[in-house]
A and B are shown apart, each in its own frame.
Chain A
Amino acid sequence: MATRQLSRSALAGGTNHEGFLRHRNFRWLKIAGGLCLVSIVAYLLIDQKPHPNGGSAYGYTLGTIGALLILWLTMLGLRKRAMTRGRWSLKAWTSAHVYLGLSLIIVATLHTGFHFGWNVHTLAYVLMMIVILSGMYGITVYAALPRFLSNNREETTQTQMLDTLRSLDRQLHDAAQPLDAGAAELVRRSLEDNPFGGGLWQRLSGNYPKCPTRIAQLELRRMARGMRSSVGADPLEKVDMLLERKESALTLIRQHLRYKALLEVWLYIHIPVTFALIAALAAHIISVFFYW
């Protein structure tokens, strides 16, 4: 049995689908690796007088490469948002960004000739290393977390999660009407709790020790134990059931927000420090040319 389609996409090959790290069979890893290798070999071979530093011809070359690379790496932010026409792919850009960015560790370190001090030059270097380290954290979470994000949400969207919470809140509101003031106050605190609230640490750790919903549930259960009386239609029981459901809905969305925060948080270092880096870099270059 045979068909015309099979011969088209024969056994090997198939669709071309690789993530940004493997893009084109690690093309940019190879290029960046080559760049590092050449820099190291040259560093060892070229006898820099009087001692290795940024002012030698070799140092200038590495410095220029490094500065241009930094500017180009910064352009990723623009590329990501400018939806122009043309055959570019952000995946290829990210791939190149990651590997060329990492190569800066070698290129820039060799450029310094291992001269560090309390000055703007070293400041630029340190800022760069911070950006790079944050980037390394970035690719680590990019590689590890997406599947957890996917498993956790199980086809529910964030909007749906919020809708569920809202509808539980409405029911809680109705169900709490017959409760006495103390119990109603507990429920009210749970209703006022904002799933997006809480500090950065709570968002990242997923721990909400003072979660009003859980407190409300614990307290209500404690109260109920004291006066276990009616059966079945007890309003407390209904509220308890709703609080339980709200808690599991909260767990879902908090976990979701946690993964998203872990995937994003580093950009809040990566990007601002990039701008600080460019400022420091400019100062470094100007001072080198005018005051050296």
Chain B
Amino acid sequence: MAEAYRVAIVGSGPAGLSAAARAAQLGISHVLLEKTDHLSDTIYKYQKGKHVMATPSQLVLRSDCDFDAGKREAILDVWNRQASEQKINVRYHSEVVKIGGVAGAFTIALKGGAEIQAEAIVLAIGTQGNPNTLRVPGVETNTVQYQLDDPGEYVDEHITVIGSGDAGIENAVGLAADPEQRNTVTILNRSADFSRAKDANVKLLFSMRDAGRLTVMTDTAPNLLEEGFITLDTRDGVAKIPCNRVIARMGSAAPRKFIEECGIEFTSPDREAFPKLSPVFESTNAGIFVIGALAGYPLIKHCMNQGYDVIEFINGNRTLKPADEPILEGKFKDLPGRRGVEYWLEFLRDNVAILEELSPLQMREFMLDSDVHAVRKGEVVFERNAPGSSLFGIASGGVRIEIDPRDPTRAVPVRAGSVFGEVGLISGRRRGATVRASEDSILVEIPRNAALKLMASVPAAKRALARISVERQLLQIFGSGLGPGDLAEVVNSSEIKSVKAGETIMNEGEEGYDIYVIRTGSMIVEKTIGGKPVFLSYLPAGSYIGEMALIEGGKRTATVRAGIKSEVIKISGEAFKALLAKRPNLLEKARADMATRQDLNAFIEAKKDSFSGVVDMYSSVAGFLVQNGIGEATDVLLIDENLCVGCDNCEKACADSHEGLSRLDREAGRTYAHLHVPTSCRHCEHPHCMADCPPNAIHRGPDGEVFIDETCIGCGNCQRNCPYGVIRMDKVPPKKPSLLSWIFFGRGPGPGEPSKKWSYAHAKGGAEQPKKAIKCDMCSGIEGGPACVRACPTGAAIRVAPEAFLSVSRLERIEG
């Protein structure tokens, strides 16, 4: 007979543990199933001594287990102690592989064959997922592991590391680092290059290879494991090498598939989607509840509160108020009329169309991330050219979008129920128009991340937004007296296409007169001159292209390709022609735009003989910059190595303007033709770093800068996600003595970032400083602008927006 319980809780992270503690307190028969041999594997795997943060601070903790900011070890100790004191029934080594049955009589299959019966199930397995496993003969009988805790443990072994990502490289390098360990390390990569890993890691790997410390085998896959040997398929045939241990780091599979197999639906097929849940965390498979990171709440406090709540709900408690109530009260307190949280949540949900399909639970969570504003008639919501990537929904009242900066009376009204601000959200560029309230209104401001989450969880919202955004984007570009009515046909004929980096959307000499609007990403325009492609210009999101062939007739005069992964709106030439015929002033505008471009073509043609070498040079420099991420940058630091004397004053200035830590590494980074792209933030249109930040601490600021606020918990996700390696994790050093006392008395370490040794020696005792993510904030709020540029004595350091830098005007300068 299988073990049987009232509730089975799967996963002993903060969410599951807190649920089990509540069940134990209430005397409910329960079991806490944990895959590993310890509690809370995600936190267990944090780096040793990591300072764990307890954000958001306004949220009160409601759990039978304690949790306060502090060291990883201390937190795990408390939980281990409390788990035994409270007599939580933990079953270790119990990986759940299958759930069958229905509410009241579930059967839980564990790896290894055991079964457990439960009336209700709480899934709290987090989002870490399972490592992808190696599938070759011999895996069962040989030493294969998917994790490496301490590379120092292994000596005198032949170790094969499989995987070409950062984890694999770091493991291989770690195992080979100390020759005293006498390990023979080989790393295998299925493909020819290490494109998934960070540049710095790859460089390190190659330097170790060149130093003869380890072997790198590309185009190689494992084939067979035997006692003491591994057989490999290489490009040149089969090879057999000694091998005592395999470390496979081949990424991990998200737990989604497993969840779906449990009969639980997700809100949409998007990667970002979460399981569909009721207000009491119940999934679409009645009797199975989902909480914690898996439910979309990645902070430990949220997880623990939900653990408590879910058991109360299962136990029949109907009156429990969520612990986030005070936060929501705060958000609504400035709205007119004294109404409660419930009232406002319903009000917003009923009145803003894209929120309609949210469940009450989702609506609560949504509001935790969002804000409401009551604005008066005539008040400006945001200005043209202001940065901002939030989306606004109008719950009551209305606004006017002033499409013509010269004439504020020309405006498109937007009424209650609809949204605005979506262009910034989608393209990551500055606001295209000023928006003003046309009557007293209540607006919800949805930050970028919350908006993305919303689109992922409510497919209808995504579709509605796509249509609105196409329409608005077209209005903005062709805004000469058009109304949404005029555009209906154009919008209907349009389609959104995604374009891979390097792919072309039109080719020189080709027939075709469709028009393309760049929705996200950026494009580069090239023309073939003397048999070579010449870089003509760079088009950021929000530009349109292709009208020349349409208006003038004839073939395409240039090739347009994506600089990075982009999205374009393709508009049928027919529909656009019809629109032009109806609206002569639009035709005029298009002609004027076209004239500039024709000038450019003529200019290039005229110059090509006089300085074809220069044209070449310019094209290759532009190509180099696009390769180095300038195509998705909004602002980037470049160093002209014809001028840079290597004084590092830029780095020192950066450190001295920001709590003593430099956010740029001048010497590192790529160089081409003396143009150097140092390791420093590019303030990407769509910052990769923002993707996975548990406290949502990364934002786009008032000057377009991407910055990290003080709620950072130091998890390092952003550092891993930034493809340019510009984020560092570090502690703020102690304050230095003043500059004058350094000059006159030699006190302190002098200008620039103090050495680690000095910081250590002068650290204040007491509370330990946590490591936090540090990156360039473009010196926002500092009068005079970026310190690196101001402090460069020779003018070598410049900051540029790519569209200004990548323009043909540079030709004359390069020549000069």
Q: Is A234 an interface residue (CB 8 A)?
A: no
Q: Which of A217-245 contact B (CB under 8 A)?
A: none
Complex Cα distance, B358 from A123, in Å, reads 84
Residues of B within 8 A of A158 (CB): 667
Q: Which of A6, A7, A88 has the most CB of B within 10 A?
A: A6
Contact A170 B803 (CB under 8 A): no
- A90-B649, A260-B646 known; A146 vs B807 contact (CB < 8 Å): no
Most buried by B among A6, A7, A80, A83: A83
Contact partner of A1 (CB less than 8 A), chosen from B547, B592, B739, is B547
Return the chain B residue nearest A17 by Cβ: B798
Residue contact B798 to A164, C-beta cutoff 8 Å? no
CB of A205 within 8 A of chain B?
A: no
The CA of A154 and the CA of B203, in the complex, are separated in Å by: 14
Contact B546 A1 (CB under 8 A): yes
Q: Are A147 and B593 CB-contacts (below 8 A) given A11-B808, A168-B211?
A: no
Is B783 within 8 A of A155, CB to CB?
A: no
As a 0/1 sequence over residues 156 to 179 of chain A, the CB contacts with chain B under 8 angstroms (1 = contact) are 011110011001101100100000
Once the chains bind, are B671 and A6 in contact (CB under 8 Å)? no
* Closest partner residue, chain B, to A86 (CB atom): B784
A19 within 8 A of B: yes
Distance (whole angstroms) from the CB of B735 to the closest CB of chain A = 14
Q: Is the CB–CB distance between B644 and A150 below 8 Å?
A: yes
Smallest CB gap from A3: residue in B = B543
Contact A146 B546 (CB under 8 A): no
Using C-beta atoms within 8 Å of the partner chain, give the interface range for chain A: 35 or more
Q: Are A147 and B642 in contact (CB under 8 A)?
A: yes
Question: What 15 additional pairs, Cβ within 8 angstroms, besides A9-B803, A86-B784, A154-B671?
Answer: A5-B540, A8-B803, A9-B804, A15-B800, A17-B795, A17-B798, A81-B743, A91-B795, A142-B643, A142-B645, A146-B645, A150-B671, A155-B671, A157-B667, A174-B179
A interface residues, Cβ below 8 angstroms from B:
1-15, 17-20, 23, 78, 80-83, 85-91, 93-94, 142, 145-147, 149-150, 153-155, 157-160, 163-164, 167-168, 170-171, 174, 260, 263
Q: Separation in Å of the B587 CB from the closest CB of chain A?
A: 13
Given contacts A3-B544, A260-B646, contact A83 B600 (CB under 8 A): no
Neighbouring B residues of A19 by C-beta, 8 Å = 640, 642-643, 794-796
Q: Which of B594, B670, B739 contacts A155 (CB 8 A)?
A: B670
Q: Which of B657, B789, B804 has the most CB of A within 10 A?
A: B804
Interface centre among B590, B644, B670 (most CB of A within 10 A): B644
Q: Is the CB of A80 within 8 A of B211?
A: no
In the assembled complex, which residues on chain A have CB atoms less than 8 Å from the CB atom of B582? none
User: B31 in the interface, Cβ–Cβ < 8 Å?
Assistant: no
B residues apposed to A, CB below 8 Å = 179, 203, 207-208, 211-213, 477, 525, 537-540, 542-549, 557-558, 590, 592-597, 599-600, 603, 640-646, 649, 652-653, 656-657, 665, 667-671, 674, 676, 739, 743, 751, 782-785, 787, 789-796, 798, 800, 803-805, 807-810, 812-813
Closest B residue to A260 by beta carbon equals B646
Shortest distance from the beta carbon of B392 to any chain A beta carbon, whole Å: 23
How many pairs, one residue from A and one from B, have CB atoms within 8 Å of each other in the complex? 182
Set of chain A residues within 8 Å of B782, measured between Cβ atoms: 85
A1 touches B558 (CB 8 A): yes
Of the A-B pairs whose beta carbons lie under 8 Å apart in the complex, a sample of 24, sorted by A's number, is A1-B547, A1-B549, A1-B558, A4-B593, A5-B539, A9-B807, A11-B603, A11-B809, A12-B812, A18-B795, A19-B794, A20-B793, A81-B751, A82-B739, A88-B790, A90-B649, A90-B793, A91-B795, A146-B643, A149-B641, A150-B644, A153-B667, A158-B667, A171-B212
Given A146-B641, A158-B667, A171-B212, are A11 and B599 also a contact pair (CB < 8 Å)?
yes
Q: Contact at B645–A15, with CB atoms within 8 Å? A: no
Residues of A within 8 A of B540 (CB): 5
Q: A147-B674, A157-B668, A263-B645 are known contacts. Are A89 and B543 too (CB-CB below 8 A)?
A: no
How far, in whole Å, are A157 and B211 apart by their CA atoms in the complex? 18
B176 to chain A: closest CB distance in Å? 11
Q: How distant is A137 from chain B, measured CB to nearest CB, in Å?
A: 13
Point out the residue from A4, A5, A85 that lies within 8 Å of B783, measured CB to CB.
A85
Q: Which of A9, A20, A159 contacts B794 (CB 8 A)?
A: A20
User: Cα distance A2–B599 when bound, in Å?
Assistant: 10
Q: With the chains together, A153 CA to B666 CA distance in Å?
A: 13
Chain B residues near A13 (CB-CB < 8 A): 809
Is B645 in contact with A2, judged by CB distance below 8 angstroms? no
Across-interface contacts of A167 in B (CB, < 8 A): 207-208, 211, 213
A289 and B657 alpha carbons, distance in the complex (Å): 44
Q: CA–CA, A147 to B671, complex, Å?
A: 11
Whether B596 contacts A90 by the Cβ 8 Å rule is no
- Is the CB–CB distance between A2 and B595 below 8 Å? yes
Contact A90 B641, CB 8 Å, known A1-B545, A3-B545, A170-B179: no
A82 to B740, CA, bound (A): 9
Cβ of B600: which chain A residues have Cβ within 8 Å of it? 6, 11
Which residues of chain A have C-beta atoms less than 8 A from B594's C-beta? 1-2
Q: For residue A145, which residues in chain B have a CB less than 8 angstroms away from its CB? A: 645
Do B803 and A91 touch (CB < 8 A)? no
Q: Enumerate chain B residues within 8 angstroms of A87, measured Cβ to Cβ.
A: 783-785
- Does B593 contact A94, Cβ atoms closer than 8 Å? no
B610 to chain A minimum Cβ distance, whole angstroms, is 15
Q: In the complex, what's the smallest C-beta–C-beta distance from B82 to chain A, in angstroms?
A: 46
Among B543, B544, B599, B643, find the residue whose CB has the most chain A CB atoms closer than 10 A.
B643
Q: Give complex CA distance A147, B211 in Å.
A: 29
What residues of chain A lie closer than 8 Å to B790, measured between beta carbons? 88-90
Report the separation of the CA atoms of residues A6 and B598 in the bound assembly, to the nearest whole angstrom.
11
Complex Cα distance A28/B459, Å? 62
CA distance A167 to B620 in the complex (A): 35
- Whether B593 lies near A2 (C-beta < 8 A) is yes
What is the chain A residue whose CB lies nearest that of B779? Answer: A85
Q: Which 5 A-B pairs have the closest CB atoms?
A: A2-B593, A14-B809, A150-B641, A3-B543, A1-B548
Q: How far in angstroms is the closest Cβ of chain A from B747?
A: 14
Q: Which of A81, A149, A174 contacts B739 (CB 8 A)?
A: A81
Q: How far is the CA of A159 from the CA of B665 in the complex (A)?
A: 12
How distant is the Cα of A157 from the Cα of B676 in the complex, in angstroms?
12
* A89 partner residues in chain B, CB cutoff 8 A: 789-790
Contact A15 B794 (CB under 8 A): no
Pick the contact of A2: B203, B590, B800 (CB < 8 A): B590
Give the docked Cα–Cα distance between A18 and B643 (Å).
9
Residues on B with beta carbons closer than 8 Å to the beta carbon of A1: 525, 545-549, 557-558, 594, 597
Residues of A within 8 A of B795 (CB): 17-20, 23, 91
Q: Which residues of B contact A3 (CB under 8 A)?
A: 537, 539, 543-545, 593, 597
Which residues from chain A contact B794 at a C-beta distance below 8 Å?
Answer: 19-20, 91, 94, 142, 146
Q: For B539, list chain A residues within 8 Å (CB).
A: 3, 5
Bound together, the chains give a CA A239 to CA B738 distance in angstroms of: 51
* A153 to B652 CA separation, bound complex (whole angstroms): 21
The distance in angstroms between the C-alpha atoms of A94 and B603, with both chains bound, is 36
State A167–B209 Cα separation when bound (angstroms): 11
A268 to B26, CA, bound (A): 77
Residues of A within 8 A of B809 (CB): 9-15
A12→B644 CA distance, assembly (Å)? 26
Q: Which residues of A contact B557 (CB under 8 A)?
A: 1
Asked whether B810 lies within 8 Å of A15 as measured between CB atoms, the reply is: yes
Give bound CA distance, A8 to B804, whole Å.
Answer: 8
Measured between alpha carbons, how far is A11 from B807 in the docked complex, in Å?
Answer: 8
The CA-CA distance from A8 to B538 in the complex, in Å, is 12
How far, in whole Å, are A150 and B639 apart by their CA atoms in the complex? 11
* B residues less than 8 Å from A2 (CB atoms): 547-548, 590, 592-597
Q: How far is the CB of B815 from chain A (nearest CB, A)?
A: 12
The CA-CA distance from A164 to B207 in the complex, in Å, is: 8
Closest B residue by C-beta to A2: B593
